[in-house]
Every structure is written in structure tokens, then in C-alpha cells.
Structure 1
């Protein structure tokens, strides 16, 4: 195996050979074109009206770089030294030719987009201006000045020779350089037969027009002279249809035929003085080439703009079609949502109706107690459904914004165990929650919702055995796992279980309440938190869900959690509660429950009615419980604020709303009120009341101290 260093000299050698080969090739082409142009000189052997080397040199520098100047200099020096003058004058002329190409290419690169100069009209105009005003005068001025110094040209012929030299260089640059640059830099395209035939057609037309107007094969008469204007036809065809490359090629074909015809005595430009004949030829070629290149560039820009617009329209149509399809799918999903929700919500409502009918009949104490328990279980089932719908609504509305904090995972594990202890015991299942001292970084509330949904799903589908919740450390991540001994998930359904309304097929005896949204909510929440979740399951043996959370070092400075006091520590008996609700049934239900808890209840349908009731009672309420939406477009927040203003103090308040939009939650948060969503679990309401009374009594104690 050879060492890489041994390859380097070989690579350098091939680069050197390639460089020298390029110089030789360019120099040979330049020399041949130079000798051909000098053969047409008449006013002076070194001042010819036809000078293709300018275009060759300019194109070579643009395409290959400034390093090829030695080839131009050497070829120009040899061509002039073997034609007329001396070696010194040949060196001076070669210097002018080299500077002409280098200066022109440098300005075109800096000012006129380099090899892309023929792609836009303004760049073509800059290219023509550089060639006419800057590049060509350099060669003509240096060359003729050197010939004058060495005595090879008479002063009286200097002006005519300079104009001839200048026009020859300008024509070479404007006619030859574009053809070489455009053909060399043209990107490869897939062969198109129609475009190829059109290119052949326009070139053939240019050749035919050139032969008709300038060929010596046809006798030149005064009536034939205007035929030279026909040259504009193929130029327009190429400019409008074929682009800059074919336009430049057509100009070259016409230039070749025109020069040949004039040289052999044909065409409208022929006179007895060859030099005088070629000067109008040059002006003619410049006048048809530059405008045609400008027009072709403008047409090309317009075609690109039209193509971009067409593509943008196609892309817009595609996006509209995709969006329309998404909307159709969303509408179908919404219809499916309402159908599924309607069906599943009717089930517990139907059961509630039957249980209520049973309560109206004479029942023994044990039967009545059992029926009440079934009603409560059905209510909890409905509550779980509504919570799922509420979660979906919040996720869709974008109102769930994660609040990332650092906390011990043991709190959530304890919450899971407390929440499902009774449910698993009633089903005869074992629930084991293994504690962990790890601290994690996440949103505690949303992570709790994920774990609650995972364990709830496990409890729902597990008929025997148990559920295990535990943690494993994986580097800087904590892996929380939920195991169950349920029916398992078939392999072909693992990709679908996180979809909305999806429920794994199960025996009829396991068909419990639920909308099939639990794992869908889990997926949405874990994406919101950017947590990873994976699943392993075996049919008939159970499943394991695992979620990975970033861990942090234990925050020893954090305030240790304070255990919530037992509800009895802050009794609600004797508290004056103001209930504001515009629905009589809500007033009766809330008031009846609070009355059973030993509270003194005042119920009203509006803020005005509440103020009247309070004025008659002449007693400040201890707590206000108000619906968020009241009659006449008013809100519970406004009612609470008016009552606070009437008593000149801040009264603890709870808002209750069935609206899942972001506005009620934002308004309540801004005012510092607690917002509960309907249906409200009675125990949840009682716990919030205890918390408010505890905080209020704590503030009163602090002020007393």
C-alpha cells in the first residue's frame, strides 16, 4: 500500500501537464485566428478590421481564469513578429492584446456577472460598454503607439488605423466571445427533438439570408442592396425563441457570410477600398449583434419569470389541494369525533337514567347504597370522558404551554398510587408503585397527565394480575415504565394505538367506558414536552410503556413539599357561600351540595340579584362560586369584582366554566382566580374550598400577628 505522500508529486505532475496543455491549446487557437485576421489587413499590416483573437482571448480568460495570459501574450507576439514590424513592436502589441483581455475579463467578472453576463439585459449592456469603451481602446492605443514610436506607421494614418484596429477588436469581442462563452458554459439538458430542429431551422435561415444578401454568387445590383436588412429576421427569431446562445451563434454565422461576401466582392458593402468596405461591415455586425443579445436576454429573463410563476402556481395549487384534503380529513375526523363522543357519552347517561329510575322505587338500604355507588361510578366515567375532551380541546387550541421546572419524581408516583389504589382494589388487581429519589426536568402537571393516562389505560384493559410503575436511570435520563398484565397489543396495531378514538379489540366483559383518546393525548403531550416514549407488548402477556425524562441533580435548596392538611382541618361548616349561576338547576345542585356540607348558601342568577340578596342579609360572604358565563353577555369575573367593590375587600372566589377556550382560563389567571371546568368533581370542589379557606385564614392570622 503506497503512502499518500508518494501520490502528491504525481498529482502535481499531471496538474502541470494540464496547465501547459491548456496554454498550448489556447495559444494555438489564438495564433491561427490572429494570422487569419492579419491576412485581411490593408491600411497597415498590423491594423486589420477583422480581429477574432480579441473574442478568443476574452472568452478564454472568462472561462479558464487569468492564469492563461502567457498563452495570449506568446501567441500574439509570434503572430505579429512574423507579420510585420520588429520583435520589440510585437512585444508591445502582445502586451496590449493581453491587457485588453485581462482588463475586459476583470471588469466583466466584477461588474457584469462574469460568464453569466449574457443572462440579463443590463449585464449585456455592461459587457458591450466594457468592450467598446475600455478593453478595445487599450489594445488599439498600445499597439499603434508602439508602431508609431518605432516608425512603422506614418502619423497621418494613425487615426484611420486606430479606428480600424478599435472596430476590429470591438467586433471580435462582441461577436466571437459570446458564442464561445455561451456554448462552453451551457449546462447539459436532456435532448429535445423539437428544440433541436428549431435551432437547426434558425441557423439554416440565417445562412440562407446571408447568402441571398451578401453572397458573391448572386450579381450585386442596386435592387439587391436592401436585402441586407433581412438579416434582422433570423436574429429576431433566435432572440425571441431560442435564447442568448443561439442568438450569438446566428450572429456569428451572419458575420462569417458577410465578411466572406464583402471580401470576394459581393454584398452592399463592397467598394474599391478593402478597408473602407470592412468598416461598415463591422458597424453592421455590431448593430445587429448587441440589440439581439439584449433582446434575447430580456426574453430569457421573462421566460424564467414565467416559469417561476408557473411553478409557484403549481406549488400553490398543490398546497391548496393538500390543505383542502387536510380540511376534508379534519371535517371527517370531526364528524367521527362527534359520532363517537355522542355514542360513548350516551352510554353512561343511559345508565344514569336507569339508576335514577331504580332510586324512585322502594329499595332496601343495601340496594340503595349499591345503586348510589353505581351512579357515582357512572359519573366518574363521564368525568373522565369530559376530561379527555377538555385535554384535546386545549391541545388543539394551543393553550397548553409547558412550564418546565425541576422537581422530584416521587411526588408524581405518589399521586399515581393514590389515584388508582381504590380502582385497582375494586377490580382485584395488584398495584405496585416503586419509589424513586430522582429529580427530573419537565412540566409536572403535563407529565402527571401522561402518567395518569398510561396507568388508567393499563387499569382499564387489565382483567387479572396487576400494574407496576417504576423508574430506571439511563445516563442523564430517567425512564418511567408502566407495566401491565393485560391482553397485550398485536404487532399490526402498535402504530395505531396513539391515534384518536383507537381502542384495542378486547373481550366484551372488558369493554369499559372511554373515548379511545387516552393514548392520543399521551402522544400529543409527549410531543409538546419533547419526551421520547416507546412500547413493548406481547399478546396475552401484557404491555410496557416507557417515557424518558431528563434528570437533574437533586435540588437540596428546594423547599420540601408540605403535605396537604386533612380536609377536616379546615371545616366548611358555617361558611357563607354565594353561588351565582344563571341556570336554576345549577343553583339548586350546587346549593344543595353545599347545604349538605353545612354551609349557609345564598344563590342568585346575576350580580345585581346577588347584591340585593347580600344587602338583605347584611353579611359578607366567605366565598363566591360563580359561573364564568352569565346572562346578557356578562361574566363571573365582573360579578365578583362588583361584589368586592361593594364590600371594599377581596373575597375568595372560584370560577366554573364549561367553555374550554383559552379566553376564560387566561382571564381567570390574570385576575388570580381559580377556574374549574365542568363537570366538577364534588371532592375536587371541596378540596379547592379548603385550600382557599386555609390560605385566607393564614393571611388573617399573619395580619393579627
Structure 2
């Protein structure tokens, strides 16, 4: 009930505002019509009466104008009940003056009669539009303006005048009915406006809540990405270190199975976090012109060890093509394509290449795997869908890779799809706009060189996680490296000075408990030790982190990484420094 009363009060306010907003046009019309009526009837020997009546109309017009000014001075703090009554009183007074004219100037002379009829009918009709927002205000003018003239016609007691009076009465009643319909439309429009305003306010609130939730999800994903990858990283490196010790041990087979489980855990973790980022809209595309071959070769080189375990050969067709896309997100799409090809292929090779299609470049990943039935070629991009895995074997993944690829392609506005023949293999593709080589941005990238021996090299490890520091140190010891491990740059510098060592390379985690991050820690150490080669480890796979690392000039490795990847990175860094 209270809400209903509130709506009625708001509607009354709007009706009052409309009456006073329309008032200038009403007053102009009244002044013109009254002057016209006097001009037409000037020859009826009622000059003084006409002038007095016209003066009264103009005086009332002036009062109504002053009333409007006072209303406007109230601003938004006016009392609608008081001012609606004031408006009705003014319209009633105007109606009375016009009603007086209908009696005072009444004559059986045809010209006068026609003039009065036309002017009164015009005033009643004009008041419909100007006062349609509030029927009582219209009726307050129409009835006193017309009824005296109607009564005067009927008082003549002749058929013509009775008919004229009756027709005039019907005309007035029809206009009142029409005015009431217009009022209902105006009120409905006002209600809809209020409802729309409430809906906009509600949607704004929901958007604000959703943005806050999205920001919270983004913070959670960043923390989860780092915290979950830390123990997985430690497990990965410890297993690699143990693999060196048990190379010829009977338990090597058991360790291989543990290693496979660790790889599965790493892949599942990466997939889940990437899927969560897609679903929470925590990814922002930042497209630019990129050369495609280096990107394709980098992804294939990183995934080559997985392919070799299944005796698969990955090849990249040479191309000079440039595309326009977000390199980090495009790389994630292609990574999912190639991992999917490795997963479902048991022989042959995987070929990655580009094909020019007008103003677009189609990047294709061909495999010789089991193939996909035509009926399932759209379904494979759905969330959690897996072909040939009804038992939901986690070793075969979660069915999120192609879903992530599809979601990212929608974000990038890239076309993607698959062509496949059962038993012969599949071709997954993503189509990107053609890039321009003249718009390429130089991004530090170095082709992998021959592995530089790490024996006797001093590697500084900075990580605030004891387990990760221990696992990296353990892995480095297998390569006969001298390891210095610390939780931050200050501690690292103290240890180096105490031991009298100069690091040949620095491995730093991006997210540290101190105020500075890994990049800042490296820069701080470089200011003291010189231009020491450095690599950053991070559990955050966000595109912004990749861009930030590229701009810093440091090599970026994503956790969890294998011992092979770490060794290749360190060998490359140290080899370049000594070249």
C-alpha cells in the first residue's frame, strides 16, 4: 500500500509539472483567441463590453503567468496537491470567462452565432491536448466554458437552437471522454518511465555487483593460479631430480608413472584455471600485429616432449605471414589444439601451418588421429565434452581445452572450426585477420641454442616458498650447479656477499611476499651485481603478465615447468651472456 501511495504521489507530481510546462502555449492561445473573438464581434455594438471582457481575460492570463513563475521557483520541492489545485482553479476561472462570453455575446444573428460556436469549440478542443495530463483540469475549463452557451441555446426553445445546444453538449462530453483516455495514456507513460528508471537503477546495481564479483574472481584466480601451482611446481622438479638418481634403478618404472600423474595434474590445473578465467571474463584481449611462425614454433617446441612420448612428430610449415591478434590468447588456442592432437593421435605426425584466405590467415593444426564423426564436430567445442571417454578418465583431460579455444576465439572475434574424417585424422583451424609486417612490434625473443653446460655455474634462486626453493635447488644440484637460494633480493645479496659468489643467472618468482615483485628484485640485484642474466617464474598466466614480462626484457616461464624447460632456459641465458 505504501509503495502504491508513493507511485500515486509521483504521478501527481508529474501531472502538475506537465500542466505548468504546457501553460505558456495555453496562455498564448487564450490571448490570441480572445483578441480574435473581440475583433470579429467588434461591429455588434458591444464595444465596451468586449473590451472589459478582453481586459479580464488578459488580467487572468497575467495572474496565471505569475503563478507559473512562482511554481518554477519551487524547483523540485513543490507540493503537488497544492499546485494541482491552483492549476485547476486557474483553468476554471478561464472557463468561466469564456462561459460568460457565450452568454454575454450571444445573438441570433448568424455571424455572431457561428463565431461564438467556432471559438468555443476551438477552445474546448485546444484544451484537450494542453490539459490531457489531468482530466479534472480539462473538465474545470470545458464545462464552465461551454455549459452557459449550451443552456442559452436551449433557452431559445426553437428546434434549431435546441439541436445546436444538444450537439454542443455531446461534443463537450466526447472531448471529456477523449481527454480522459489521453490522461490514462499519459499516466501509463509516466508509470512506464518510473518502471524503466527503477529497472535501470536495478540493472546498474546488478552491474556494479557483477563488476565487484568479477574483480573478486580475478583476484582469487590470480592468487589461486599462484598458490596452486607452487606445490605442483615443487613436485614436478623433485620428480625430475629423482629421475636422474633412479635412471638405472628398478623403481624407475614406478617413478615414470608418478611423473605421468604429475603431468596429468599439471595439465588439469592449467585447464581448470584457464576455464575459470574465461567464465569469469577475467581475460581482456589486446590484439596487435604479430609474426606467426615464431609463435607456432615456440608452442610446438614446448609441446614436443609430450609428442615424443607417443612417438609423434610435430612439424611447422615455414611461413612469413603476419596476423592481427592477441599473441598470448592466440597461443593458448593453438596450445589447446596441439595438445588435443597429441592426446588423440597414436601414430604419424602433427603439422601446423598457415593458409592465406584473402584478408585473413587461417592457422591449421593437422593430425593423423582417430578423427571426429560429422555429428560431433560442433559438439566437441562444448564444455566438458570428450570424444571416446565415457568413463571420464582424468588421464584424458576434462574436455575443456576445445571449449577454452572456442571461448577465446569468440573474445577475439576469430572464426574457428574443425574438419575431420573418422580413422584418418582432423584439421582444427582458427582464422585471424591479416597483419602488416610494417606494424610489427619488436619483442625480445631468442631461438633456442645448443645446451650450454651448467656444471660449476652459480644460479641464484629467489622464491618465498620454501618447497619451491628446495625443489629448484635440488634440480640444479643434479646439473652440478652452485645454488644460492633466498626468499627476497635483500637476503640474496647478503648470502652472495658472505659467500663471495657472483651468480651466472638469476631465477626469480614473480610474486613475492615483500613489496617488490620478481622483476623489481632482479633489477635491484642488477644495480649491485651488474647485468646478470635472469628468468622469471610465475603461476599467473594472464596476458597482462606476459606483456609486462616482455616489456621488461626478462624471459618468462610459467609454472609448473619441467626440469627440461628450466635447464633449456638457463642454458640459453648463460650461453647468450658468454657469447
Q: TM-score range by the shorter chain?
A: 0.5 to 0.7
Distance 1:384 1:594 in 2: 24
Partners of 1:465 and 1:589 in 2: CA distance: 36
Instruction: Give the secondary-structure state (helix, strand or coil) at the position aligned to 2:560.
Output: coil
The partner residue of 1:129 within 27, 42, 52 is 27
What CA distance in whole angstroms lies between the structure 2 residues aligned with 1:446 and 1:247? 66
Does residue 572 in structure 1 map to residue 461 in structure 2? no
In 1, the alpha carbon distance for the partners of 2:524 and 2:232 equals 42
Q: Note closer, same or farther for the CA distance 1:350–1:536 as it changes in structure 2 (3 Å cut).
A: same
Partner residue of 2:48? 159
1:309 aligns with 2:194: yes
| 1:402 maps to 2:286 | yes
Between the aligned partners of 2:532 and 2:494, the Cα distance in structure 1 is 17
| CA distance in structure 2 between the partners assigned to 1:248 and 1:518 by the alignment | 69
Alpha-carbon separation, structure 1, partners of 2:379 and 2:430: 18
Q: 2:402 is matched with which residue?
A: 519
Question: Who wins on radius of gyration, i.e. which is larger?
Answer: 1
Residue pairs, 1:164-563, within 5 angstroms: 243-244=133-134, 248=138, 252=142, 255-262=145-152, 304-313=189-198, 365=248, 367-392=250-275, 395=278, 396=280, 398=282, 401-407=285-291, 409-415=292-298, 418=301, 423-424=306-307, 426-427=309-310, 434-463=317-346, 467-489=350-372, 493-506=376-389, 512-537=395-420, 542-552=425-435
Task: Give the drift of 1:130.
Answer: 0.4
Partners of 1:596 and 1:358 in 2: CA distance: 10
Higher relative contact order (CA 8 A, sep 6+): 2
Q: Structure 2: which 5+ runs fail to align?
A: 1-14, 61-98, 104-127, 157-171, 217-230
Q: How does 1:541-620 map to 2 (within 5 A)?
A: 542-552=425-435, 564=447, 566-568=449-451, 570-620=452-502
Q: How far off is 1:532 after superposition?
A: 0.6
RMSD: 5.7
* 1:617 Cα deviation after fit: 1.7
Distance 1:553 1:641 in 2: 34
Shift of residue 457, structure 1, vs aligned partner: 0.8
Give the secondary-structure state (helix, strand or coil) at the position aligned to 1:654: strand
1:462, distance to aligned residue in structure 2 (A): 3.1
Q: Deviations over 1:393-445 (max 9, x none)?
A: 655464554341142x4444544654555644543557665544544333444
Unaligned runs of 5+ in 1: 1-116, 172-209, 215-237, 267-284, 332-345, 699-705
Q: Find the counterpart in structure 1 of residue 38 from structure 2.
A: 140
> Following the alignment from structure 1 to structure 2, what is the Cα–Cα distance between the partners of residues 324 and 613?
48
CA offsets 1:528-577 (integer angstroms, 9 cap, x no match): 33211123445566543222222357769999999725233x44333322
The two structures have a TM-score, normalised by structure 1, of: 0.52
Shift in alpha-carbon separation, 1:692–1:302, aligned structure 2, 3 A: farther
Report the TM-score when normalising by structure 2. Answer: 0.61
Give a deviation string over 1:449-477, Cα, whole Å, max 9, x none.
32221122122123456645454433222
Please say if residues 134 and 183 of structure 2, whose CA atoms lie closer than 8 Å, have aligned partners that are also in contact. Answer: no
Q: Secondary structure of 2:398's match?
A: coil
**Partner SS, residue 402 of structure 2:** helix
C-alpha separation in 2, matches of 1:247 and 1:562: 80
**Structure 1's 625 and 439: CA in aligned 2 closer, same or farther, altered over 3 A?**
closer
Question: How far 1:260 moved relative to its partner?
Answer: 2.9
* TM-aligned CA deviation for residue 161 of structure 1: 3.5
Q: 1:522 offset after TM fit, Å?
A: 0.9
Equivalent-residue separation in structure 2 for 1:355 and 1:690 (angstroms): 17
> Does the 8 Å contact 2:488/2:514 carry over to 1?
no
Deviation at 1:684, TM superposition (A): 2.6
- Which of the residues 531, 545, 570 maps onto 1:689? 570
In structure 2, C-alpha distance between the alignment counterparts of 1:676 and 1:567, rounded to whole Å: 19
Whole-Å Cα distance in 2 between the matches of residues 559 and 633 of structure 1? 30
Secondary structure at 1:610 match in 2: helix
Q: 1:309 Cα shift?
A: 1.8
Aligned-residue offset at 1:519: 0.9
Shift in Å, 1:391: 3.5
- SS of the residue 1:579 aligns to: strand
Cα distance between partner residues in 2 of 1:608 and 1:632: 10
- Does the Cα contact within 8 Å between 2:325 and 2:433 map onto a contact in 1? yes
CA distance, structure 2, for counterparts of residue 359 and residue 652 of structure 1: 26
